Amino acid sequence: MSIDESGSPPSGAYVEVDPTRGSPPKGERRPKTAADFDAADDRNVPVLQVRDLSVEFKTDDGRLLAVQNVSYTLHERETLGIVGESGSGKTVGSMAVLGLLPKTAQVTGEVLFRGRNLLAMSEKERQTIRGRRIAMVFQDALAALNPVFKVGDQIAEAINVHSNVKIATDDERVVDLLNLVGIPNPKDRANQYPHEFSGGMRQRAMIAMSIANDPDVIIADEPTTALDVTIQAQVLEVFERIQDRTKSAILLITHDLGVVAGVTDRIMVMYAGRQVETGTVDDVFYQPSHPYAQGLLASLPRLDRRRDGERLYRIKGQPPSLIFLPPGCAFNPRCPTAEVGRCDVTRPDLVEVSPDHLSACHFAADLYEGTKAATT
């Protein structure tokens, strides 16, 4: 399979549109690599370490394995993207990190926030971290905001629950936060209700709420999925700006590979509750070493390419039920390289194909070599 990445666009392909009214074009951005973190010592600090996280639900039909043995590390100022389709376990996994799942969920593994295991903490202890040190931005801002309270109240509440000094709806801090996320007339807006905000504004208000306590980690679950592309661009810009300012680490959960390509440093691809590939954003996009990641990238219609008549690549079949997972590799019934007697028997471990680039495939090394050949 060839994932064409024949290179950078011709220079001068970008006409400078001078946006005197629109905001200026975004500055050049380089994903942070391991070297960056080594160079600046303080950046090499892992904030969140998830080890062997599994989530299981008991259903009438049997055990539902929503997340299986997921491990990742999030460093300071880093943005990690978790990519996957519906039902791949990306949302459940992040809810488990925050202890937001219902009691019926059986969560095992470790979630270390600055070395302390969140899963072993009491609920009371966890509350001092959740919303303050680790904040969450949800997909559906209208559902996540309370319709009967003013937006300013809700942002003030996020601060008040973690503080002894209580602030009011239009406190300076609330107004500052709204201003920071780019809401015009923040003072008036703080006194309005969620229904008076547009979709993009609501998502900004949610972000304002999440950063109210200067969190170390922001978990954003599909924060732009419900938004139009021009509004999505505004919101992604807000994330970038607040990360520059607050130095937070961001865990971005999304199904949109375009968003991931633009804003993350590293990504983790999930399939059927398992981690199938992890690496820097360039590693995974240009040298995908798992058949699912390869197929996913190849099946995308491209905005930036002429099609020349060819059909889209299609991954055959459907994602499996999480209750009746196929034996061996969960992707084997859909995989073009699956080997009978191996892939449908043994579940592949994550193997390192290059430094910090992992793939859970029996043929990971071959696939990796294959992408190298395709590049040169």
User: Can you give the binding site for other proteins, defined by CB under 8 A?
Assistant: 5, 8-9, 13-23, 25-26, 28-31, 85-86, 184, 198, 200-201, 228-234, 236-237, 255-262, 281-282, 285-286, 295-297, 299-304, 306-307, 311-315, 318-319
The tokens of 125 are what? Answer: 């202890």
Collapsing DSSP to helix, strand or coil, 168 comes out as coil
Q: How far apart are CA 61 and CA 82, in angstroms?
A: 28
Backbone angles phi, psi at 70, to 5 degrees: -95, 135
Nearest approach in angstroms of CB 5 to other proteins is: 7
Least separation in angstroms between CB 51 and other proteins = 27
Q: How far is the CB of 161 from other proteins (least distance, A)?
A: 31
Which residue, 133 or 204, has its beta carbon nearer to other proteins?
A: 204
Our CB check for other proteins shows the closer of 147 and 301 to be 301
At residue 82, what is the residue type? I
* Rounded-to-integer distance, Cα 152 and Cα 145, Å: 11
- Show Cβ contacts of residue 327 under 8 Å, excluding neighbours closer than 6 positions: 344, 345
Q: Is 301 left (phi over 0), alpha (psi -120 to 50) or beta?
A: beta
Q: Min. distance of Cβ 20 from other proteins in angstroms?
A: 5
Beta bridge partners, 137, equal 220
Instruction: Tell me which H or E stretch contains 201.
Output: helix 199-210
237 versus 344: smaller Cβ distance to other proteins: 237
Cβ at position 19, least distance to other proteins in Å = 4
Residue 257 CB partners (closer than 8 Å, separation 6+) = 83, 296, 297, 300
Q: Is the dihedral of CA 95, 253, 279, 46 positive or negative?
A: negative
Neighbours of 97 (CB within 10 A): 25
Which has the closest alpha carbon to 190: 173, 166, 212?
173
**Residue 300 CB, nearest approach to other proteins (Å):** 5
Amino acid at 341: G
Q: Over the Cα atoms of the chain, what is R_g?
A: 22
In this complex, which beta carbon is closest to other proteins, that of residue 279 or of residue 348?
A: 279
Shortest separation between residue 340's beta carbon and other proteins, angstroms: 22
Residues 76 and 3: their CA atoms lie apart, in Å, by: 31
CB 74 within 8 A of CB 251: yes
Closest to other proteins by CB, 99 vs 258, is 258
Measured from the CB of residue 195, what is the shortest distance to other proteins in angstroms?
14
Closest to other proteins by CB, 164 vs 376, is: 376
DSSP, collapsed to helix, strand or coil, labels residue 189 as helix
> What is the DSSP secondary structure assignment for residue 121, as one 8-state letter?
S
In the complex with other proteins, the residue whose CB is nearer, 149 or 285, is 285
- Burial (CB < 10 A; 0-12, 13-18, 19+), residue 305, is exposed
Q: Which is nearer to other proteins, 135 or 276 (CB)?
A: 276
Closer of 68 and 264 to other proteins (Cβ): 264
Least CB distance from residue 276 to other proteins, whole Å?
A: 13
- In the complex with other proteins, the residue whose CB is nearer, 82 or 159, is 82
Least separation in angstroms between residue 222's CB and other proteins is 13
